[in-house]
Amino acid sequence: MLELDVLLGNFLENHYPELTDDDKRLFIMLLEYTDPEIFSWLMGKAIPTDQQLARITEIIRKHAKS
């Protein structure tokens, strides 16, 4: 999904290096989900039931807004 690739690519390039090791692990964990799930979470159409995933998706969403 091109939109997701752009969103995550920008995050990786500009914000990922600043994450804590725990948040980096959460990001890797996020990538194990399907593109439609991740896209829905990042667009705010749904929230992951796992609070840790909700945390990393919110971090990515905030970065995308800036």
Q: What are the start-end ranges of the H helices in the chain?
A: 2-14, 21-30, 35-42, 51-65
Under a CB-based contact definition with an 8 Å cutoff, are residues 26 and 55 in contact? Answer: yes
pTM of the entire structure?
Answer: 0.89
| Mean pLDDT within 40-64 | 95
* CA distances, 46 to each of 22, 32, 41, 43, 66 (Å): 23, 17, 5, 8, 21
| For residue 1, pLDDT beyond 90 | no
Instruction: Work out the pLDDT band at 66, boundaries 50, 70, 90.
Output: confident
